Amino acid sequence: MKGWTGKLRAFALLGFVALVLSACGKENLTALDPKGYGADQSLYLIILTTIIMLFVLAVVMIVYTIVLIRYRKKKGQEDYIPKQVEGNRTLETVWTVIPIILLLIIAVPTVTATFDLADESAASDSLNIDVTGNQYWWHFNYDGQEVQTSQDLYIPVGERVYLNMMSSDVIHSFWVPTIAGKMDVNPENENTMYIEAHEEGVYWGKCAEFCGPSHSLMDFKVIAVSPEEFDQWLNDMQNADPEPEPENAVAQEGQSLFEENNCMSCHAIGSSSASIGPNLTNYGNRSTLAGVEDLNKENLVDWIMDPEALKPGNKMTGQYPEVSENEAGKIAEYLLQLDETDITPESAGNE
Amino acid sequence: MSTVASQKRGFGAVLWDYLTTVDHKKIAHLYLFGGGFFFLLGGLEAMIIRIQLAVPENDFVSAGFYNELLTMHGTTMIFLAAMPLLFALMNAVVPLQIGARDVAFPFLNSLGFWLFLFGGLILNLSWFLEGAPDAGWTAYAPLSVTSPGHGVDFYVIGLQIAGAGTLIAGINFLVTIINMRAPGMTYMRMPLFTWTTFVTSVLILFAFPALTIGLFLLMFDRMFGSAFFDVGLGGNSIIWQHLFWIFGHPEVYILILPAFGIFSEIFATFSRKRLFGYTAMVFATILIAFFGFMVWAHHMFTVGLGPVANSIFAIATMAIAVPTGIKIFNWLATMWGGRITINTSMLWALGFIPSFTIGGMTGVMVAAVVADYQYHDTYFVVAHFHYVIVGGVVFGILAGLHYWWPKMFGRVLHEGMGKLTFWTFFIGFHLTFFIQHFLGLMGMPRRYWVFLENQGLDTGNMISTIGAFFMAFGVVVMLINVVYTALKGEKAADDPWDGRTLEWTMASPPAEYNFKQAPLVRGLDPLWIEKTEGKGQLTPAEPLGDIHMPNASFLPFLMSLGLFIAGFGFIYQVDYDWAYILLFAGMAMTLGCMLIRSLKDDHGYHIPKDELEREAD
């Protein structure tokens, strides 16, 4: 008998743990398995407040259950008239004072953490990156480094990186749940937050402020690599050739088409600060196409031919002459071999 | 002109009666059907949203249409469903609870309803006219300013007109409760539902002007070339967020406080006990309302207001949990030692306690700024406010409807169907929204048209969608219940629940003049006092005399219709010159009706004393 219940208990425990783990969500996306400074702070407060609030809920539910069991109308009680109680000063004081104490327990660490995460004193000695939110993509300009990139944000692991964020159109919100909480990206003022990743990895980022039809498709990545790899990446990007020599004839044709079709008026290659459209310097290394699709030639051809089908309301649709599938293929060939650096998402260890 | 005239009348006569009525009880019916209609519409939108999100990367609806759906779901549920349904109950009950013959301004009462209805119609006609608003119910600038088409214009004009109706209704209840209480009905003897209506009306009075201003600025930006929110021209888009939430947060309390009032009545009645800690309950209500104006920036923790502002608003927000907690414990203490009858109405109230406590819990959790950096704009927040608004407000409305349906319509809603609705809706509600707390923390932001595959979000979303179908089933049963009750429902007694307050002293439904003679109120729960002293009815406070009644009027309908027409003029004058005809004709109609109302004396009529005496026999 004993063994049987023990086994059952073990199973129940195992099932519960599995449930909890699966409830944590996908690695490097979920906020419940943090790998960065800000996300650690948030999770600490989330757990603290949850425990205190579950205690309150438990008290309420215990009283509630007792009330429902003991005081539900029973047979023969039809005419029973309960004592009409006006109130009870002691009880009422108790359930006023105890919540105040519980809230103070929450308030103190909340305020401390709020000031901690708003601390900008180390900003001038740290890596600063200007982040621009656009419908529906992200641009990153490494302050003082002459490096521009889009969609994939490379940062050195274990270092505080300050993000100075502004929007070029409507309000967006920069959120990489596993590393840090979110900060709005406003059109009128620069917001600063810092992020610090504890582990190398490719972290999912999402836009969290409703910004139009493709709001749900404005994903980006934060790629945390070792400091050495990061320095190499910066170096490679700084020295990237704005007019790279294509590797083969098809790509060569693609490059001509890229120039003929006006792509250059929005997309920069190299460290030019032009950012009407995403910077394409290391396009071949991107973790995804347009933030959400697998990066391969087939998808890229589809995207070039009809961006609206993938991202409704994007600003690229209609900005260039119609291209044939053949032409799009050549452009795709050209773009996919733009890999000016050996530091890629794979460098971060996990995908 | 008396209740005897309620024999069978033709459809036209009934319609005309409702179009022109100034009787608070009939206006309550109008609010109920208007609000009920929009509730079904908002529910339909919610179902399409949940179907779209049942599986990853679904293409059941397009991105643009999805944004219209989520915008209209929120706007409809808050402005066109929850508020009017509460107004329905307030109109039906508050004058009766304070021993009044009607509200202070019956004409304005009717005007308030028609403004709401026409505002709601404008908003929803956008579906058929180039598309509905698509910038979210919060309509954040610059997205709302730059949103193409006329969708957001419909939002601005529709809400402006409906909002005027709400403001009028709020002022009306304030004046009614201050001035029209029966002899002996002091403030501290008012039933809690009357108290919460009173406090809610104060909130409406101070909160809605902020929305009105915000909407005007947005209207000028979109239609008349101003640049209040245009950063490029020196404007500031954050101001919209402040204006919106200075209105928007009190709005949450505008919705929940009346629900608290409803529960207070129901717990006391079905526990057969007076409300525990009445004074504390009243002051908790006032305190919640007061704090409600000082916490708006907790919707804006991630905007970048800085740590000082964020900390202050966090602590102010947490403080609200104290009076709310007092209320929860007072309700439990009311039931403690009572004799609890569980029927559908009480079931909703009992379902409210755990649901709302969870909503309050997560409310404190989102107030912790740094934790909110993760919660903000995710499904965690979606879960939180649905626990508060559905678990609090919708449960409250449904509890109140089952409780007062006999008084409003003279028939009792069917218990079996009522319980079926409760259980399916209650289970569906938790199934839909509980899992969303986790979805948010697992990385699902709100207002997402699609979520991607392989992000661990599939199961949670599927569960949520299944839950939504349970809720929809519950609502359908409720509808059947309403129709069944109207046709075959059991006739209601005057006092079916062994009530404690004044509304249960009169016929179900009451005569058009409510009280033949104003009652003499001798304490809290006046009817209960008379019952315990063996009298069972209230002593009249005045001799029987002629009753002065207001005349019905078609003017409120016409005034609102004028603004409705002018609204289209405002929206379309941007594109077409002919729209100015609508604009000026509509405004002329409204102003003309106002002129007629001002110039033409309307003294109402009297129900003579002898007719009242005859009825008594």
Higher pLDDT, A262 or B411: B411
What gap in Å lies between CA B352 and CA B379, rounded to an integer?
A: 21
Mean residue pLDDT across chain A: 91
* Of the candidates B265, B174, B307, the residue with the CA atom closest to the CA atom of residue A119: B307
Instruction: Check whether A244 has a pLDDT greater than 90.
Output: no
User: Which residues of chain A are within 8 Å of residue B320 when distances are taken between CB atoms?
Assistant: none
- Contact at CB, B314 and A46, closer than 8 angstroms: no
| Residues pairing with B605 in the sheet | B549
Nearest to B143 among A68, A118, A171 (CB): A171
* Helix ranges, B53-150 (H): 63-75, 83-97, 106-125, 143-146
Q: Which residues contact B609 (CB under 8 A, 6 or more apart)?
A: B544, B545, B546
User: Angle between the A89-117 and A37-70 helix axes, to the nearest 10 degrees?
Assistant: 170
Structure-block tokens of residue A186: 């406003």
Q: Which of B303, B318, B335 sits opposite A184 (nearest CB)?
A: B303
pLDDT tens digit sequence for A116-143 = 999 999 999 999 999 999 999 999 999 9
Which residues neighbour A44 within 8 Å (Cβ) at sequence distance 6 or greater? Answer: A109, A113
**B277, closest residue in chain A (CA to CA):** A87
Contact B31, B91 (CB under 8 A): yes
Query: Distance from B579 to chain A by nearest Cα, in Å?
Result: 29
- pLDDT tens-place string over residues B78-118: 999 999 999 999 999 999 999 999 999 999 999 999 999 99
Say what the ipTM of the complex is.
Answer: 0.92
Whether B1 shows a pLDDT value over 70: the answer reads no
Q: Which tokens sit at A324?
A: 């044939």
pLDDT at A234 over 90: yes
Q: B361–A53: do the CB atoms touch at under 8 Å?
A: yes
- Other beta carbons less than 10 A from residue A315's beta carbon: 17
User: Under an 8 A CB cutoff, do B321 and A99 touch?
Assistant: yes
Given a cut of 90, whether residue A90 has pLDDT beyond it is yes
Cβ–Cβ of B445/A187 closer than 8 Å? no
Whole-number pLDDT of residue B5: 46
Give the integer Cα–Cα distance in Å for B398 and B411.
16
Q: Answer whether residue B581 shows pLDDT above 80.
A: yes
Which pTM does this prediction carry? 0.94
The owner of tokens 């839909």 is B432
The yes-or-no verdict on residue A220 having pLDDT over 80 is yes
The amino acid at A89: R
Q: What proportion of chain B, given as a percentage, has pLDDT over 70?
A: 98
- Give the pLDDT of residue B2: 41
Nearest to B322 among A68, A96, A214 (CB): A96
Query: What CA–CA distance (Å, rounded) separates A9 from A1?
Result: 12
Binding-face residues of A in 220-279 toward B, CB within 8 A:
none
Contacts for A205 with CB less than 8 Å, ≥ 6 apart:
A138, A153, A174, A175, A176, A219, A220, A221, A222
Contact A214 B373 (CB under 8 A): no
Sequence-ordered list of residues with C-beta below 8 angstroms from that of A315, at least 6 positions apart, any chain: A134, A135, A277
Is residue B591 pLDDT above 60, yes or no? yes
Place of tokens 């928007």: B248
What are the structural domain ranges in chain A?
Answer: 249-347
CATH number of the A249-347 domain: 2.60.40.420
Largest CA distance in chain B: 79
- Structure tokens, B559: 């005034």
Joined together, the tokens standing for residue A52 give 């205190």
Please answer yes or no on whether B311 and A115 come within 8 Å at the CB atom. yes
* Structure tokens, B16: 């005309």
Inspect the interface and report whether the beta carbons of A210 and B314 lie closer than 8 Å: no
Asked if residues B406 and B492 have their Cβ atoms less than 8 Å apart, the reply is yes
Of the candidates B271, B318, B365, the beta carbon closest to that of A46 is on B365
CA distance B310 to chain A (A): 8
**Dist CA B305 CA B416 (whole Å):** 52
Say yes or no to pLDDT of B74 above 90: yes
What are the tens digits of pLDDT across the range B505-545?
Answer: 999 999 999 999 999 999 999 999 999 998 888 999 999 99
A63 touches chain B (CB under 8 A): yes
Q: Phi and psi dihedrals of B295, rounded to 5? A: -130, 10
Q: Which of A86, A182, A186 sits opposite B274 (nearest CB)?
A: A86
Q: Would you call A77 an interface residue with chain B, using a CB distance cutoff of 8 Å? A: yes
Say whether residue A16 is in contact with chain B using an 8 A CB cutoff. no
DSSP calls for A99-137: HHHHHHHHHHHHHHHHHHHT--TTGGGSEEEEEEEETTE
Residue in B134, B273, B321 closest to A84 by CB:
B273
Residue B374 to residue A42, Cβ atoms within 8 A: yes
Any idea what DSSP says for residue A217? G
Mean pLDDT of all residues in B174-192: 96
Has residue B339 got a pLDDT over 50? yes
Query: Which of A44, A95, A167 to mutate: most B Cβ within 10 Å?
Result: A95
Which whole number is the average pLDDT over B576-602?
A: 95
DSSP A312: T
- CA nearest B92: which of B397, B305, B544? B397
Q: What is the pLDDT of residue B617?
A: 59
Q: Nearest chain B residue to A169 by CA: give it.
A: B142
Distance (Å, whole) CA B86 – CA B90 = 6
Give me the pLDDT at residue B273, please: 95
Q: How many angstroms separate the CA of residue A187 from the nearest CA in chain B? A: 7
Determine which helix (DSSP H) or strand (DSSP E) holds B607, and give its type and residue range: strand B605-607
Cross-strand bridge partners of residue A167 = A133
Closest CB from A95, A180, A204 relative to B325: A95
Q: Do A46 and B311 touch (CB under 8 A)?
A: no
Chain A, nearest residue to B450 by Cα: A216
Strand partners, B491: B411
**pLDDT at residue A130, rounded to an integer:** 96
Query: Which 8-state DSSP code applies to residue B389?
Result: I
Task: Please indicate whether, in this complex, the C-beta atoms of B311 and A113 are within 8 angstroms of each other.
Answer: no
Whole-angstrom distance, CA of residue A292 vs CA of residue A311: 10
Chain B partners of A80 at a C-beta cutoff of 8 Å? 272, 339
Residue A5 binned pLDDT confidence (cut-offs 50, 70, 90): low
Mean pLDDT computed over B51-76: 96
Per-residue pLDDT at A240? 87
Average pLDDT (A183-207) is 95
* C-alpha distance from A4 to closest chain B C-alpha (Å): 32
Rounded distance between C-alpha atoms, residue A335 and residue A286, angstroms: 11
* Mutation for B interface: A41, A94, A101, A111, most B CBs within 10 A: A111
Q: Is some CB atom of chain B closer than 8 A to the CB atom of A101?
A: no
pLDDT at residue A17 in the model: 61
Inter-chain residue contact A183 with B373, CB threshold 8 Å? yes
A 147-176 residues inside an 8 A Cβ radius of B:
169-171, 173, 175
CA distance B525 to chain A (A): 11
Give the pLDDT band of residue A241 (cuts 50, 70, 90).
Answer: confident
Work out the pLDDT band at B4, boundaries 50, 70, 90: very low
Measured between alpha carbons, how far apart are the two ends of chain B, in Å?
18
With an 8 Å Cβ cutoff, are B369 and A110 in contact?
yes
Answer yes or no: are the C-beta atoms of A80 and B339 closer than 8 Å.
yes
Q: What is the mean pLDDT of chain B?
A: 95
Q: How close is the nearest chain B Cα to the Cα of A225, in Å?
A: 22
Question: How far apart are the C-alpha atoms of B392 and B252, rounded to whole Å?
Answer: 10
pLDDT over 90 at A24, yes or no: no
The DSSP element (H or E) to which B265 belongs, if any, is helix B238-271
Give the pairing of strands B490-491 and B547-549: unpaired
Chain A with chain B: Cβ pairs closer than 8 A: 288
Contacts B67 to A, Cβ<8 Å: 210, 212-213, 215
On the question of pLDDT at A1 being above 50, the answer is no
Interface touch B304/A186, C-beta < 8 Å: yes
Asked if the model's pLDDT at residue A351 lies above 60, the reply is no
Rounded to the nearest angstrom, the minimum Cα separation between B182 and chain A is 23
Tell me if chain B has a CB within 8 Å of the CB of A196. Answer: no
